[in-house]
Amino acid sequence: MQKEETSVITRFLEKWSSRKSDKPKAGARSAVDAFRGRVAEQKAYLAEFENDTAGFNTWRSTWFQRAPGGFGVTIGRDSIDAGQGLSHVVVETTAHVAEFLDDLLHHTDSDVSFQKALEENRLRRAARLNNSKAKTKAPAIKPAARKPTTVTVKVTEASPAPAGTGAEKAKRGRKPRA
């Protein structure tokens, strides 16, 4: 039994050790690769919408929204444009949305300035995220302890009021309610 288990393990190692590689690091994808992945995700949402128009309920995740005259399509959720200020278009049909996403992928692969803009946007977002993390992790600073202060009160004896001031008269009170 022991020998059988060892041979199973040996066969496993022989089979898969040739495909051994290092584990990919988180965030190792380039900004362009990440953008391609988001465009592919939008195409999947579009296919889901086309299959079930009435039951589609993931509008918050999509770059396309219903708009007067068809669909409005935004290039991502960030303030980025594809060049010359192009960041939002309105098209008539879902076929046009798909065509726009295909052209956007081609533009991503061919336009170096757009690739640089994607990378700058990624760096800006990472810096903003790191700043917000640093603010929430900052320890609370306690105020310095104060020295107790002593207060000296001087007590003097009051002199009696003169006879004509009316100090001995009773004060008027409120009228009783009926």
Domain that holds residue 70: 29-133
Mean pLDDT of all residues in 153-168: 59
- DSSP alpha helices (H): ranges in 52-177? 94-110, 112-137
Residue with token string 């692969």: 109
Task: Return the pLDDT at 41.
Answer: 94
Note whether residue 6 is domain-resident: no
Mean pLDDT of all residues in 126-132: 84
Helices 94-110 and 112-137 cross at an angle (nearest 10°) of 90
Note whether residue 86 is domain-resident: yes
pTM of structure: 0.57
Tokens of 122: 């990624």
Inform me whether the pLDDT recorded for 126 exceeds 60: yes
Note whether residue 117 is domain-resident: yes
Please tell me the total number of residues recorded for the chain in this structure.
178
Query: What pLDDT band is residue 15 in, cutting at 50, 70 and 90?
Result: confident
Note whether residue 141 is domain-resident: no
Residue among 89, 118, 121 at smallest CA distance from 103: 89
Query: What pLDDT band is residue 45 in, cutting at 50, 70 and 90?
Result: very high
Residues 6+ apart with CB under 8 A from 118: 31, 32, 35, 80, 108
Please say whether the beta carbons of 80 and 117 come within 8 A: yes
> End-to-end CA distance of the chain, in Å?
107
Tell me the residue ranges of DSSP E strands in the chain: 64-67, 70-74, 88-91
pLDDT, the chain, mean: 79
Task: Return the pLDDT at 42.
Answer: 93
Per-residue buried b or exposed e for 123-146, using 16+ beta carbons within 10 Å of the residue's own CB: eeeeeeeeeeeeeeeeeeeeeeee
Number of structural domains in the chain = 1
Cα–Cα distance between 34 and 45 in angstroms, integer? Answer: 17
Inform me whether the pLDDT recorded for 144 exceeds 70: no
Residue 56 phi/psi, 5-degree rounding, is: -70, 125
Note whether residue 124 is domain-resident: yes
For residue range 52-63, list pLDDT tens digits in order: 988 888 888 898
Task: Return the pLDDT at 9.
Answer: 74
Task: Return the pLDDT at 87.
Answer: 84
Please say whether the beta carbons of 108 and 32 come within 8 A: yes
Q: Which of 36-45, 62-71, 96-105, 151-160 has the lowest mean pLDDT?
A: 151-160
Note whether residue 36 is domain-resident: yes
Note whether residue 10 is domain-resident: no
Mean pLDDT of all residues in 45-70: 90
Note whether residue 79 is domain-resident: yes
Three-state secondary structure call for residue 107: helix
Task: Return the pLDDT at 26.
Answer: 65
